């Protein structure tokens, strides 16, 4: 069985390549490295693995047949998609269209990596898959949120009108080794600041909430969803919710850092609350997260310490 992973040189994509290889798949990783890094896949020595540098907003034709297509390519950190607004819209729209066309041609099963951002600044908590969201289409985050909403719409259209076997995973904040220290997301920011003894920058008053899922849990959920026979969106994330101010204190505690917490302006349209309802994933996939926040953060801190010391 052969799997194609777009965005395979990124944080989540590279962990997915590892899992697929472990399970015996041949893996083709397709990435244009706009936010990814060859270091993330440099450890892979398997002859079942290949890499192709390609921008998926351009069509892709392959001679060898693929059986599964995991479409993860997209800038994912708010800093990245604010710097790359057009590329973010294009990869969600044109990139998803091209990859659906490829899946249709190969009769491959297709999985879209969508996001909790489709719920925008949610007015209900926790967010279940039935909630339609509260997104500002013209705000700075709209480039990412609307690209993913379009990507979900075209995925469902290919499913309904072309009979492509599709899956949609709504990924909630996921963290772990291979995130970039400077990608601007809260986990690498706080850990980097704590380890360097710099101020911890809490945006706003820190009362906004997030729920953090460790990467191996997320990848296992994504794999199980692809192997299921369910075509509507499924949330995969960890429902353990905390405020960002609490999160800053947890990082200080685990790192033993004496950094100070400072407050900075809240970015525009920053969601006030985010917590996945995972009943569907539990029932359909028999999946639930195994890593507590503390255990996942210890692994992640170890990784970032290694990067800072090298
Ligand atoms: P990442 O930036 O580490 O990985 C994204 C990868 O996609 C990078 O390797 C990048 O080079 C590649 N890419 C981007 N545009 C491309 C294009 N046009 N052609 C080919 N490759 C392209 O981010 P990540 O955290 O690993 O996110 C992976 C996917 O999961 C994204 O689709 C993201 O929206 C989704 N997601 C992630 C999270 C999270 O918390 N990590 C949350 C929700 C959704
Ligand atoms: N955040 C913060 N300080 C930082 C980076 C982020 O307080 O240095 C906050 C951000 O405003 C948001 C939360 O942490 O409320 C999560 O941000 P992240 O960029 O990780 O992802 P998001 O969930 O917003 O997509």
Q: Mind listing the pLDDT tens digit for each residue in 127-161? A: 999 999 999 999 999 999 999 999 999 999 999 99
For tokens 């926040």, the residue is 293
Whether residue 204 has pLDDT greater than 90: yes
Share of the chain above pLDDT 90, in %: 100
Share of the chain above pLDDT 70, in %: 100
**Are residues 148 and 190 located together in one domain of the fold?**
no
- Residue 180 belongs to a domain: no
Q: Is 214 a known active-site residue?
A: no
Ligand with smallest separation from the Cα of 80: 1
**Are residues 146 and 222 located together in one domain of the fold?**
yes
- Residue 181 belongs to a domain: no
Residues spanned by the domain of 39: 2-175+215-238+279-285
pLDDT band at 120, cuts 50/70/90? very high
- Residue 257 belongs to a domain: yes
- Residue 87 belongs to a domain: yes
Q: Mind listing the pLDDT tens digit for each residue in 247-299? A: 999 999 999 999 999 999 999 999 999 999 999 999 999 999 999 999 999 99
- Residue 34 belongs to a domain: yes
**Are residues 161 and 190 located together in one domain of the fold?**
no
Looking at residue 249, which CATH number applies to its domain? 3.90.25.10
34 lines ligand 1 (CB under 6 A): yes
**Are residues 129 and 7 located together in one domain of the fold?**
yes
User: Which residue from 22, 15, 132 is spatially nearest to 70, judged by alpha carbons?
Assistant: 15
- Residue 261 belongs to a domain: yes
Domains of the chain: total? 2
What's residue 94's pLDDT? 98
What's residue 181's pLDDT? 94
CA distance 182 to 251: 17
Q: Which residues line ligand 2 (CB under 6 A)?
A: 78, 173, 185-186, 189, 201-203, 208, 210, 244, 267, 270
Mutate to test the pocket of ligand 1, among 4, 5, 12 (most ligand atoms within 8 A of CB): 12
What's residue 225's pLDDT? 98
**Are residues 120 and 269 located together in one domain of the fold?**
no
What's residue 300's pLDDT? 98
Q: Mind listing the pLDDT tens digit for each residue in 5-43? A: 999 999 999 999 999 999 999 999 999 999 999 999 999
Mean pLDDT over residues 181-203, rounded? Answer: 97
**Are residues 93 and 144 located together in one domain of the fold?**
yes
**Are residues 254 and 146 located together in one domain of the fold?**
no
**Are residues 144 and 198 located together in one domain of the fold?**
no
237 lines ligand 1 (CB under 6 A): no
- Residue 159 belongs to a domain: yes
User: Structure tokens of 54?
Assistant: 């390609």
**Are residues 19 and 152 located together in one domain of the fold?**
yes
CA 119 / ligand 1 centre spacing (Å): 18
What's residue 12's pLDDT? 98
Annotated catalytic residue within 25, 81, 119, 144: 144
**Are residues 161 and 249 located together in one domain of the fold?**
no
Whether residue 310 has pLDDT greater than 90: no
126 lines ligand 1 (CB under 6 A): no
Mean pLDDT over residues 85-93, rounded? Answer: 98
Report the nearest atom of ligand 1 relative to the CA of 213.
40
Ligand with smallest separation from the Cα of 176: 1
Q: pTM (2 decimals)?
A: 0.98
Whether residue 96 has pLDDT greater than 90: yes
**Are residues 195 and 171 located together in one domain of the fold?**
no
**Are residues 256 and 219 located together in one domain of the fold?**
no
Whether residue 171 has pLDDT greater than 90: yes
């Amino acid at each position: 069985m052969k799997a194609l992973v777009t965005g395979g040189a990124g944080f989540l994509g590279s962990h997915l390549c590892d899992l697929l290889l472990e399970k015996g798949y041949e893996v083709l990783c397709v990435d244009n490295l706009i936010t990814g890094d060859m270091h993330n896949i440099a450890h892979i020595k398997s002859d079942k693995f290949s890499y192709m540098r390609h921008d998926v907003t351009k069509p892709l034709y392959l001679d060898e047949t693929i059986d599964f297509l995991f479409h993860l390519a997209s800038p994912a950190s708010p800093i990245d998609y604010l710097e790359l607004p057009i590329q973010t819209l294009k990869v969600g729209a044109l990139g998803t269209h091209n990859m659906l066309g490829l899946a249709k041609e190969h009769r491959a099963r297709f999985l879209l990596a969508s996001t909790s951002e489709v719920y925008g600044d949610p007015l209900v908590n926790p967010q279940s898959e039935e909630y339609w969201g509260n997104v500002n289409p013209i705000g700075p985050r709209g480039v990412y949120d609307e690209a993913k909403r379009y990507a979900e719409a075209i995925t469902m259209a290919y499913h309904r009108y072309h009979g492509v076997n599709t899956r949609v995973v709504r990924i909630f904040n996921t963290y772990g080794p291979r995130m970039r220290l400077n990608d601007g997301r809260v986990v690498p920011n706080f850990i980097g600041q704590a380890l360097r003894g710099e101020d911890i920058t809490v945006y706003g008053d820190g009362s906004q909430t997030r729920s953090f899922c460790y990467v191996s849990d997320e990848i296992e959920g994504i794999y199980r969803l692809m192997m299921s026979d369910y075509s509507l969106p499924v949330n995969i994330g960890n429902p353990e919710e905390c405020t960002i101010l609490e999160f800053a204190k947890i990082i200080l505690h685990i790192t033993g850092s004496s950094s100070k917490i400072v407050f900075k302006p809240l970015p525009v349209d920053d969601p006030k609350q985010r917590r996945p309802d995972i009943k569907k994933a539990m029932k359909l996939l028999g999946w639930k997260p195994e890593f507590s926040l503390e255990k996942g953060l210890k692994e992640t801190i170890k990784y970032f310490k290694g990067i800072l010391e090298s």
